[in-house]
Structure 1
């Protein structure tokens, strides 16, 4: 008996990430991202997941909707696939996603596998039944929801376990999304939109992102003070990634901060704000540079969630030895022993970054913590 999977790819998911638009919702944002040189990556991330299923190809039947929403990829990879529908308009829309969900459920799929971000999860939540299992391949800029695997590869591994008949639990997980307009202004307004039934397999499926600022304000202050007093070097560029912990550094230096973007400082002076990938590469080329990042609370992602401007090219230019991880011990404890996670979209880079990293957790207080990809 064949395991039937409904595949939905949002081809514009994550398009605004590397060009610093902090999302891809809306036709106008998509057009702006493309005009800025953004390259669609959702299909490539889906291919990473589907490679895990190639050894099981003879046990799977796919259903898809539109060639650019999965049909073309499945054909190229040699999977058995039936195209349920198509649409005349050039650019995909939320209506395409919702129509695909309805058609796939009516056809009796065992699992809906989708690639996108929180907006795509919302579209699926709008139309899917409570009893239909779904799983997300993380491909968007905003991934607050708990319905996604931690990486595309992990999504493929979970699906492979299901196909092999291994015992995989199902659990309702939150679908959350934020107001992108407020997000671009540095304000987080997250809202719960519903729940989806998701295969739950420990380390492979991410936790719901914890919203809000760090409650340990004094610890954040200590981390920032130590960076200013003991770490910051003259004439070195520092990229400051998103997050409330890194914001503490900017506050201590008295500098304007893009809470949800990437800023550049040198000699305690703000050089550039809310930078795109291309702007970062232009500013740091052939210059001494270090990168300040923090982990997403509850999830533990260092790269690949909300900071796609820090692309593989940027990270390679900075160098592993010049990455400074800042996090309070409370944030680390919330991971409950799980490692910090990498999902840069570049498998070789993820592997090169794996191991342990020093995490600055207070004033002259550091820990070694594992960093990995799945």
Structure 2
């Protein structure tokens, strides 16, 4: 198998610092102290691919879009393109910083993967068209890859290693390791939707996913579904959870209330205007933090802490999609309470977590109780 590997080095950087995305916000994310997320996600996928399919040939682009990481995983890749060129690299030939990458750079890489190949510097021979474009990023990167494939007239498949904040598209594997397993074992493809949203509207609490492309994607169980809006009322659920929270007012218990409409209904029942896609913190009858970043949430925690979250409709992710502020450091200091409407749970086979910490993911796996009504609960498995 011949894989073309490309990484968006800034994907997901805006999540933990409260930006809800990174499109057009890289500099601000860096100013807020954001750390790159994509390289670690890429390394996890590449390490698993090296184990599952060590004979895979890999084409890459020059750094910072993945070459060093591919070599670090033990592959001997062929560099088919330098998307920046000598002018962008300057006289010293140093790679541009991650913040300098753009959608056009991604497009140049994908076009090179589709073409018959260019002789790579330091390598003999040429590469042929790739069998799969394996990319690391979020919905914006997925859109860029799909658009470049279409513009090049290719119906070759693409598969995403999830590293963005939102990840609405159904072209992503559930985790980096799953992406590698799918890449190593798939035998057929199907057409799937590439979705994205307006991040500025998203930051204002308006979520309007738009279809950006339809792409060929490997068929496997370890692919996520597109996010869908769950139907059904959550009023009684919100009332029951809010009553439970009020009963603990005065005890010093800190409640970390995740994003989304279901937990938003609980916030409204408590009597405050929720930040629709942000994380709010409640303690002893009052809001102590609105729309917090990872560090702000950590600073707000006390001795006893509870996270209240709802799985993403259509996907079942409790952590890892839409709530990166709830980092492993935050999750490890809190008890977990999962809430969901019955309709939402009817749409998912299992719950999922993808926290960036495989050990924590393993600790969270297993059967959990999910609150579905004022008093009712349902057992669901975190796979």
**Structure 2: which 5+ runs fail to align?**
90-95, 117-128
Equivalent of 2:159, from 124, 129, 135?
A: 135
Q: Distance in 2 between matches of 1:58 and 1:368?
A: 39
Higher helix share: 1
Stretches of 4+ moved more than 6 A in 1?
none
Give the superposed CA RMSD.
1.3
User: TM-score, length-normalised on structure 2?
Assistant: 0.89
Contact persistence 1:169–1:200 (CA under 8 A): yes
Using the TM superposition, give the Cα deviation of residue 267 of structure 1 relative to its aligned residue in structure 2, in angstroms.
Answer: 2.7
Q: Quick one: distance in 2 between partners of 1:313 and 1:49? A: 22
CA contact (8 A) 1:57 1:79 kept: no
Q: Within the alignment, does 1:342 sit opposite 2:353 as a pair?
A: yes
What is the alpha-carbon distance in structure 1 between the residues aligned to residue 274 and residue 188 of structure 2? Answer: 42
Q: In the alignment, which residue of structure 1 is the partner of 2:180?
A: 156
Q: Give the C-alpha shift of residue 317 in structure 1.
A: 1.2
Asked whether 1:145 is paired with 2:159, we answer no
Verify the 8 A CA contact 2:231 2:344 in the aligned structure 1.
no
1:52·1:156 contact (CA, 8 Å) conserved in 2?
A: yes
Matched residue, 2:108: 99
- Structure 1 length-normalised TM: 0.91
SS at match of 2:64: helix
Q: Pick the aligned partner of 1:18 from 4, 16, 19.
A: 16
CA–CA distance in structure 1, aligned partners of residues 282 and 9 of structure 2 = 34
Task: Give the number of equivalent residue pairs.
Answer: 352
Q: Judge conservation of contact 2:52–2:180 (CA < 8 Å) in 1.
A: no
Larger mean Cα displacement after TM superposition, 222-231 or 353-362: 222-231
SS at match of 1:172: strand
Aligned ranges 1:311-322 → 2 under 5 Å: 311-318=327-334, 322=335
State which of 288, 291, 311 in structure 1 corresponds to 2:304: 288
Pairing 1:212-227 to 2, within 5 Å after superposition: 214-217=230-233, 220-227=234-241
Q: How far off its partner does 1:266 sit?
A: 1.5
The equivalent position to 1:264 in structure 2, one of 260, 281, 289, is 281
Distance in 2 of aligned mates of 1:81 and 1:316: 38
Secondary structure, counterpart of 1:75 in structure 2? helix
Q: What does the per-residue CA deviation read over 1:9-32, in whole Å, with 9 as the maximum and x for residues that have no partner?
A: 000000000001000112xx1011
* Secondary structure class of the residue paired with 2:324: coil
Q: Is the 8 A contact 1:53 1:160 kept in 2?
A: yes
Cα deviations by residue, 1:248-279 (Å, 9 ceiling, x for unpaired): 10111120101111001123321111100010
SS in 2 for 1:332: helix
* Secondary structure in structure 2 of the residue aligned to 1:51: helix
Q: Which has the larger radius of gyration?
A: 2
